[in-house]
Structure 1
């Protein structure tokens, strides 16, 4: 949902109340389960800490667990439900990580590489239907292609979830597929950025071919090239805790993105962070910050960075064991030629 002026006011007021301690026991329990401090609540907490735990129940188990947690009046019961949601979310992360690796292997094995296609469609009989949307989103971000991922569903059918790029209305695209291939889609729905559909058990190849034809017809080569608008360099005197915390305290979202900065960096060292992320130490090579070294975090990236790169990043302040750490959060990278 687009973060318009009205929505932004509602989110801002909700965050203010949470920071003041005025929240349901279930919300407090979810903050505790996520290891986040409600007195410093931010939009990041809602979108990337609480949200995934609530949604995980609907993906893998029963969505009423999340609803019951949010509505709980008893702190002990709320803590039990939040712990259950946290466990389900850990399971979801494990499934997602495995599916993502398998998806990358399937994609690499296709006769036509992703860069030469207008879309991506993947299916495996081992995948979980509750996680296909997340994996589709990861692949879309990685390859900048409209992406559908399918998994087995009830009654021998296939359930798919798709994510799209700017300028390609996904729901309209699969509506066009349904008109050109009568009987192929049993059900479908969605909006511009995301959609879902159900196919018969033998319908995947037919859908993948039809969707590729529609994408190739509607998308130009310019649209298939990732373009990132940045806000320029962040002056070195503004790379500090005060600015980072000011940015974190604001309400950002779709249609109201946080500032995105650009730098040319040299990678001094890098390594895996957990099972699916990357941490690097970089030296900034240009602008007023030239010569300074910083920590850079790349979420959901397993491949190493080039030795020198242009990076688009967001400023982040992370508190670990009572110590504030300033970091660059990677949004995009381009090799320096």
Structure 2
């Protein structure tokens, strides 16, 4: 078996509504089904979703505060006031700052911009910065992607004569700042129909309000970058903005955008939301995390490609350094968690902190811990000199982390964010109270089911359905991202034809899948560790996204696997390994920490006097030995302390001496999910085959031809081996059948043929029946292929149950 990482839940499908939508818009039933399952069943809404453009956007003047902000900015431009653009250091903030710079240039304003240093200052408006710009004669501040919580700072600005226009998209606090204008679609009194704009989306709306139809279409590139990077829903207006921006990026007017795309590996063709999310956003964010976000702004405002390429290379280097730093902090955080508690005893909300941890990357570490443990996670870096802790939070559905932080606001110096992600700062002396308070708040909200991640699937289909035409229809739903993910296809009962690890350190899997005569190639990114858990011709259930693989002019369907499972017992073939002890150690190291193995304990099984038990280091594994009467008995202290029903993974070091021993063993290990065959292969002179009735007649006739005196058994067996070509072991077992039937007598190592035996059928001999079963077992476990062994074992298990 292979356990899925997620609990799969299919989106509801309304066949009638899908048919009506398909007829209404003249689209394929597949596309109509996908739209309806996503709640877009109204023809007008569906047409807007599929074909909406920037012309279908809402009037920016519907945003509360816009009618006050526009004339104030125009007045400032006309009178030559100095305008300060104040933003955030993440990709959304950088995109917003950049867009406002282009806006100020277009308006002919006198301006400057400021982004606080992520680790030295932290998020939000800061009074010292406002003071500095006030002394330099700045009288108007426009915030982007920040400011909605800056009550104290904006009160200070008012006091010294600076007007503040806030453009933001974060959750508004209970007490709002008394700014000249507040522009945020999430304000409870704001009538703007679409609430999901990114910070840069709000900034873009301000530009539209000031420029109208003269707003350059290429500015949507900046809006798309920030929207995707900040994980905003790609629905409604965001979808239109991102579609426009991605189309423009392919022929970008910004040298910085072109240079950054090149650094991320893009050369030409379509730019996708994935290109932005995994290529551009991390490099933009690396500037603010590892240095200062001003370098990212310098890139996006560069006027020549030569200048842009130099800065893009800088950001690429910073991103590589960021990746190394994240891995280092992640290792320390995992050690800290292991010291706090075992995995089963993790708190409902994880809080870890470390001295010297770079506050610029703790959010990434929090995301990685959440992915591993699937529970709300907060990671903080502690300044060893000041004791200040700055951190980032990532949360799961059902737990609003911003609401949770609000419950702890008396402990916090500052906080802000969304239901799924937030930032905060507090003194390190308050960390214990902070963790206790968060977990107490979580006690009333989080149940065990919250800690099992859910993956929604859009369609149940077969490999036959994965055609180029179907994939092209699916791609009409792009751009994909938050709230509009690439459709996930649930495909059951697919046979694994080929599987190999690819990429650096075998990090990924490449599979060939088959079903009812149809084959499709698939890639599972980041799932290379599952290779030892996928047996030959295993039957898979999987959730995948469909794409088109283009290579050398050839186009063919390809699946991108998101999750997979195997629901049957699996058998893995390591028979005849030259060094089974080393093979066992290697497999243990690969398997024991993989969540897909599920719960339960691994074990090995061998014979009583096995040399493997002395050759292998089995101190940390339960050892069981074959027993003909009860199946298996404990072979070490771990087995004695354990339970056969807890064994999910079994390593077979040796075969038993009887088929009954094998059958009873399988019956005892009733919860087996995977069996690794490491037993040695028998030499040809030891192999047993099920003799036919004619074979028995041949041996018996050879015995009758001898005189009736007693023969030494070993001499007789040697003679019969030469005459029959059978193995010595098989002949010895055959003689046992003759003995049971009364055809021969055995006494003190000698054999005498009975001249007048009673006529008894072969089938009446228990040894004959055992010989047949033993031959079947050994033929199967020594010679058969894994699929045949798997089917045979499943049959035996079902028979035993």
Q: Above 0.5 in TM-score?
A: yes
CA-atom RMSD in angstroms: 3.0
Deviation at 1:234, TM superposition (A): 4.5
Instruction: Select the structure of larger CA radius of gyration.
Output: 2
| Alpha-carbon displacement from aligned partner over 1:271-290 (angstroms, at most 9, x marks no partner) | 47436x831233547xx578
8 Å Cα contact 2:524-2:560 kept in structure 1: yes
Are positions 1:176 and 2:402 aligned together? no
Are positions 1:331 and 2:331 aligned together? no
Q: Secondary structure at the match of 1:46?
A: helix
Match of 1:294 in 2: 521
- Out of 194, 204, 221, which is 2:421 matched to? 194
| Greater alpha carbon shift after TM alignment, 315-324 vs 159-168 | 315-324
8 Å Cα contact 1:26-1:79 kept in structure 2: yes
Q: Secondary structure at the match of 2:455?
A: coil
Write the distance in 1 (CA, Å) between the matches of 2:548 and 2:320.
Answer: 24
| Alpha-carbon displacement from aligned partner over 1:252-294 (angstroms, at most 9, x marks no partner) | 121111111234567754547436x831233547xx5787463
8 Å Cα contact 1:266-1:282 kept in structure 2: no
Q: Secondary structure at the match of 2:524?
A: strand
Deviation at 1:159, TM superposition (A): 1.2
8 Å Cα contact 2:378-2:391 kept in structure 1: yes
From the superposition, tell whether residues 128 and 313 of structure 1 become closer, same or farther in structure 2 (CA, over 3 Å).
farther
Deviation at 1:23, TM superposition (A): 2.7
Query: What is the TM-score with the length of structure 2 in the denominator?
Result: 0.38
Are positions 1:281 and 2:507 aligned together? no
- Out of 167, 173, 184, which is 2:398 matched to? 167
Write the distance in 1 (CA, Å) between the matches of 2:551 and 2:344.
Answer: 39
| Alpha-carbon displacement from aligned partner over 1:281-336 (angstroms, at most 9, x marks no partner) | 33547xx578746342334x674363266443323456689887865434334563
Write the distance in 1 (CA, Å) between the matches of 2:550 and 2:289.
Answer: 30
Are positions 1:254 and 2:482 aligned together? yes
Are positions 1:95 and 2:325 aligned together? yes
Q: Secondary structure at the match of 2:456?
A: coil
Are positions 1:144 and 2:374 aligned together? yes
Query: What is the TM-score with the length of structure 1 in the denominator?
Result: 0.84
Match of 1:81 in 2: 311
Are positions 1:69 and 2:299 aligned together? yes
Q: Secondary structure at the match of 1:155?
A: coil
From the superposition, tell whether residues 322 and 217 of structure 1 become closer, same or farther in structure 2 (CA, over 3 Å).
farther
Match of 2:46 in 1: none
Listed as ranges, the gaps of 5+ residues in structure 1 are none
- Out of 458, 479, 498, which is 1:231 matched to? 458
Write the distance in 2 (CA, Å) between the matches of 1:302 and 1:98.
Answer: 22
Match of 1:217 in 2: 444
Write the distance in 2 (CA, Å) between the matches of 1:304 and 1:126.
Answer: 35
8 Å Cα contact 2:508-2:528 kept in structure 1: no
Listed as ranges, the gaps of 5+ residues in structure 2 are 1-231, 568-672, 674-801
Deviation at 1:243, TM superposition (A): 5.4
| Greater alpha carbon shift after TM alignment, 247-256 vs 259-268 | 259-268
Match of 2:239 in 1: 8
Q: Secondary structure at the match of 1:218?
A: coil
Give the length in aligned residue pairs: 328
